[in-house]
Amino acid sequence: MNVPNTLTATPMTNGNPMQDYPAVVTEITEDAVAVATYMLAFQDVDVGQQFNFSAGQFNMILLPGIGEVPISISSDPGTPQSLGHTIRYAGNVTSAIARLQTGDIVGLRGPYGSHWPMDKAIGQDICIVTGGIGLAPLRPAIYEIINKRDDYGQVILLYGARTSADMLYTDEFDTWQNHDIQVHTTIDRAEEGWSGHVGVVPMLFYHLRLDPANTLVLTCGPEIMMRFVIYEALARRIPRENIYVSMERNMKCGVGFCGHCQIGPKFMCKEGPVLSFAQFEPFFGVEDF
């Protein structure tokens, strides 16, 4: 069954879906090994005032003469004039971004794609499950929960990384917990000084008591991790329409022109990256998912 995605939103295009706007790097924060968050602000104040995004969406960042990359927005949707993008240096464009300094200019267009179902989650419990840099597109959801904390029930974050040094935003964990968000962390292998869990993220489900009919699961991370998160959620009888994944793969143009991100009939840059498992289930058993 082809389930339409109701979480999509319209990018700021000014009539041209590929229109980018100059944006200034205002701040750079090193988050982990080869990972940093770049805060960007549009040079044109009017453009900045028109820009809004929803948690889970992404922008295209352009470095003229080098290339363009899709990067999830990792900052607070409540303050869209300052846009965070958490980037791992892994390719030609992101390696060039690593050489940027505050005050440098990039091209920015967006926001693109679908978003986390924060309206549907009102009055519900939320279980956020993520690994490594997958926390970046979920951080705006956490900010939105904090901004409207009374709207949501129990909120749990399950977060894992290879090592403690690979974890993002650790300096914010206390603030999140002070807003009644349970934070459970795990690393792949034990290391000196680590007192948290050891093992893969889906195993953290065994430490929880969930109300399945009243819980939404939001997950982003390595695809093998999301596969087992889905298994664990279904095993606890969480409805498949309440399980949401972010499929950030092979995006190129951001507007559904090139087909690089296509999975079955769906373009992840337009109908994704956020999909419910009910929408994604027909492709779940496909090899290489």
The per-residue pLDDT for range 85-128, each reduced to its tens digit, is 999 999 999 999 999 999 999 999 999 999 999 999 999 999 99
**pLDDT number for residue 57:** 96
So what's the pLDDT on residue 102?
98
What's residue 19's pLDDT?
87
> In this model, does residue 212 exceed pLDDT 80?
yes
- pLDDT value of residue 146: 98
Per-chain mean pLDDT for the chain:
91
| Burial bucket for residue 153 (CB in 10 Å: 0-12, 13-18, 19+) | middle
Q: Which residue in 53, 180, 26 sits closest to 110, CA to CA?
A: 53
Cα distances (angstroms) measured from residue 140 to each of 19, 134, 184, 187, 287: 24, 12, 18, 23, 31
- pLDDT confidence of residue 209: 92
Q: How many CB atoms within 10 Å of residue 43?
A: 12
In the three-class reduction of DSSP (H, G, I as helix; E, B as strand; rest coil), residue 139 is classed as: helix
**Structure pTM?**
0.92
For residue 154, pLDDT beyond 60: yes
| pLDDT one-digit tens code per residue, 5-56 | 556 555 666 667 788 999 999 999 999 999 999 999 999 999 999 999 999 9
Q: What is the pLDDT of residues 245-281, one digit of tens each?
A: 998 777 777 777 777 878 777 888 788 899 999 988 8
Angstrom distance (rounded) from CA 266 to CA 268: 6
Judged against a pLDDT cut of 90, whether residue 143 lies above it is answered with yes
Q: Tens of pLDDT along 51-71?
A: 999 999 999 999 999 999 999
pLDDT for the residue 1: 44
- Is residue 4 over pLDDT 60? no
Is the pLDDT score of 82 beyond 60? yes
